[in-house]
Amino acid sequence: MADIAQLKSVSSQVRRDIVRMVHANNSGHPGGSLGCVEYFVALYFEILNHNPSDFDMDGFDEDIFFLSNGHISPVWYSTLAHSGYFEKAELATFRKLNSRLQGHPATEEGLEGIRIASGSLGQGLSVGIGTAMTKKLNGEDSLVYTLHGDGELQEGQIWEAAMYAAANKVDNVIATVDYNGRQIDGDVDDVLSLGDLEGKWKAFGWEVITEDNGNDMESVINVLNKAKTLTGKGKPVMILLRTEMGQGVDYMMGTHKWHGAAPNDEQLVNALGQLEETLGDY
Amino acid sequence: MKEYPVLGKKDTRSGFGDGLLELGKKNDQVVAMCADLTGSLKMGAFKEAFPDRFFQAGIAEANMIGMAAGMTIGGKIPFTGTFANFSTSRVYDQIRQSIAYSEKNVKICASHAGLTLGEDGATHQVLEDIGMMKMLPNMCVINPCDYNQTKAATLAIADYEGPVYLRFGRPSVPIFMPEDMPFEIGKGIMLSEGTDVTIVATGHLVWKALEAAKELEGKGISAEVINIHTIKPLDEEIILNSVMKTKCIVTAEEHQIAGGLGESVSSLLCRTIPTPQEFVAVDDTFGESGTPAELMTKYGLDTIDIVTACEAVMTRK
């Protein structure tokens, strides 16, 4: 069982990394990144069966993760670095010229841990289902995990994929929606309401778990473990994970305004004052 | 000029279907996906022989493209099949991000390209696909000319690591390439040598180019005919060597002028050996319903159009 205190400590450092990375080049997406820290840390430090020190694109016999909402790349990069995929010093190159840490994740320069480009929304569920089918053909019992924004569910391709996975019993995929209720233009309910989201996924034939405490480490680990127990039973699995955009930095919470905005020098100091340095800043 | 006897008549899509079946036997990493057009794409035999490696995506092309990209992770070589317009414009962003930029080993196989789709009309007659696909970095673009070449190309692209767009068509057309001719990606084929004018053609227009060369021969004009089955990467050498000799060129394709083979050729020539060029291609218009033959005539893609273009370009030397 996980040492929750240790995972919380990693989370604090990841949050520091996120605000520092975004501040350093005055661009990026801190809000969703901060809201998904517990998910990423739980996944990479507790849930995934993976091999950070020897990254392989094909990932045979490894669990594989795809980030569909690629704009929250800071939380992924920081988590990958702290997991041992690449040196954390490289986080300093985020969004800079000649960096492997592109604004949105890319495979072109071989950044360890990234298996497909994402950024244009709605594509990652299809990709994950494809890899899950390959795992079945290869006789592997590893799992595929995907993460999506809730606003991203407005993309039609998501529902094509949802229909396909259920109809074809792709039951080795665990998708998660970062259900923070916010997108660039405002609240999801105001921009284009998703309606009864749990009912929609159920109607599409998915096993659905809603977790209201998506920023509580223990709850996130528990829901991911529960999702694992639901795989292999003929249905794809969806976790609707309620999170708070901007979690951990008070002035970024309760608003959509920090979806894609960087803190200034003063705001950075304020944010870092709220986040303990635990593993050493990059 | 060199004679090419007609070995039979068949649709190029059948070359794809037969090639895919053969591939299924040869390479167990090959998987096939189709968006509700299994019969039209001639993928039925593969589906029957390898049901575990055939994936019916339904009328959901975006998802099919994304799944194909995902299936490469773990070693599969997915061949997606649908009409050319649904293989390109409908899913351009999915191809761009999940396949081309991500350098995934997916083969996008597209039937019913161009005007020769016929009666279905302009909604289905994509004439922009070569342009869209060749603009994408990492994408290889192939448009074979007959049944034999399409079958050979289908086999060849499985051994090529990287994204490929393979374009073929619906109508029954003459078979004239040798059955045993290996397909070399990016290597044009010198069909007939000549000295007065170069004709570079792709897809269904290759046979018409040979017919045109024969007519020109009757008029005392010696035309060189090159089969450019791979539009990207373009075989620059074969084209440059030819125009050094003939000093003028005609390009012929079932595609818009904008974005087509002709544009790739003119881009090459203006940077190297500026050469008078005429385009036999569709000029900035959509197609319409009609028989393939009627459409090729109305939109200026017939043998006579190539002959006329050759005569015109020779006056500009």
What CATH number is associated with residue B57? Answer: 3.40.50.970
Q: Residue B62: its pLDDT value, please?
A: 98
A-B C-beta contacts closer than 8 Å: 115
Taking the whole predicted model, whether its pTM rises above 0.95 is answered as yes
3 state SS for B192-226:
ECCCCEEEEECCCHHHHHHHHHHHHHHCCCCEEEE
Q: Does A132 touch chain B (CB under 8 A)?
A: yes
Same domain, B34 and B170: yes
Q: Residue A1: its pLDDT value, please?
A: 61
Same domain, B239 and B284: yes
Domain limits for position B121: 10-175
How many domains is chain B partitioned into structurally?
Answer: 2
Same domain, B224 and B294: yes
B2 belongs to a structural domain? no
Nearest Cα to Cα of residue B143 among B254, B259, B300? B254
With beta carbons under 8 A apart, name residues in chain B contacting A124.
66
Same domain, B283 and B206: yes
Kindly state the tokens that stand for A232: 């292999």
Band of the pLDDT at A103, cuts 50, 70, 90?
very high
With beta carbons under 8 A apart, name residues in chain B contacting A167.
58
| Residue ending a domain, choose from B147, B175, B203 | B175
User: Mutate which of B54, B73, B91, B103 to disrupt the A interface (most A C-beta within 10 Å)?
Assistant: B73
With beta carbons under 8 A apart, name residues in chain A contacting B102.
106-107, 116-117
Kindly state the tokens that stand for B125: 């007659």
**What is the arithmetic mean of pLDDT over A42-63?**
98
B181 belongs to a structural domain? no
The span from the CA of B102 to the CA of A105, in Å, is 10
Q: Does A268 touch chain B (CB under 8 A)?
A: no
User: Mutate which of A164, A169, A170, A173 to disrupt the B interface (most B C-beta within 10 Å)?
Assistant: A164
The span from the CA of A210 to the CA of A11, in Å, is 22
B305 belongs to a structural domain? yes
Q: Looking at the partner chain, which of A58, A122, A168 has a beta carbon nearest the beta carbon of B74?
A: A58
Whether A116 and B58 lie within 8 Å, measured CB to CB: no
The span from the CA of A238 to the CA of A210, in Å, is 8
How many domains is chain A partitioned into structurally?
Answer: 1
Same domain, B286 and B205: yes
Give the number of other Cβ atoms within 10 Å of residue A165's Cβ: 29
A279 belongs to a structural domain? no
What's the ipTM? 0.97
The span from the CA of B108 to the CA of B165, in Å, is 5
Same domain, B285 and B153: no
CATH of the domain at A227: 3.40.50.970
Whether A138 and B67 lie within 8 Å, measured CB to CB: no
In Å, what is the CA distance from A85 to each residue of A24, A94, A118, B38? 22, 15, 19, 42
Whether B70 and A134 lie within 8 Å, measured CB to CB: yes
B52: closest chain A residue by CA: A137
Residue A2 has pLDDT above 80, yes or no: no
A282 belongs to a structural domain? no
Residue A123 has pLDDT above 90, yes or no: yes
Model confidence over B172-218: pLDDT tens digits? 999 999 999 999 999 999 999 999 999 999 999 999 999 999 999 99
Q: What is the largest CA-CA distance in chain A?
A: 54
Same domain, B170 and B22: yes
Rounded to a whole number of angstroms, the distance from the CA of A57 to the nearest CA of chain B is: 7
Q: Does A154 touch chain B (CB under 8 A)?
A: no
Q: Does A43 touch chain B (CB under 8 A)?
A: no
| Residue ending a domain, choose from B175, B207, B222 | B175
Q: Looking at the partner chain, which of B55, B69, B93 has a beta carbon nearest the beta carbon of A116?
A: B69
Kindly state the tokens that stand for A9: 């400590």
Catalytic residue annotation of B:
61
Rounded to a whole number of angstroms, the distance from the CA of B32 to the nearest CA of chain A is: 12
Model confidence over A164-179: pLDDT tens digits? 999 999 999 999 999 9
A144 belongs to a structural domain? yes
**3-state DSSP assignment of residue B250:** strand
With beta carbons under 8 A apart, name residues in chain B contacting A133.
55, 67, 70-71
Same domain, B265 and B134: no
Same domain, B242 and B151: no
Same domain, B157 and B208: no
B268 belongs to a structural domain? yes
Domain limits for position A268: 4-273
Same domain, B26 and B153: yes
What does the angle CA B107 – CA B162 – CA A116 come to, to the nearest 5 degrees? 95
Residue A274 has pLDDT above 90, yes or no: yes
Same domain, B196 and B129: no
Q: Looking at the partner chain, which of A130, A140, A168 has a beta carbon nearest the beta carbon of B66?
A: A130
pLDDT along chain B (317 residues), means of 10: 96 98 98 98 98 98 98 98 98 98 98 97 97 98 98 98 98 97 97 98 98 98 98 98 98 98 98 98 98 98 98 97
Pairing of strands B107-111, B77-83: parallel
Which residues on neighbouring strands pair with residue B201, listed in sequence order? B227, B252
Nearest Cα to Cα of residue B195 among B64, B31, B1? B1
Q: Looking at the partner chain, which of A64, A120, A135 has a beta carbon nearest the beta carbon of B97?
A: A120
Q: Evaluate whether B191 touches B25 at the Cβ level (below 8 Å).
A: no
Residue with tokens 């990144």: A33
Model confidence over A178-223: pLDDT tens digits? 999 999 999 999 999 999 999 999 999 999 999 999 999 999 999 9
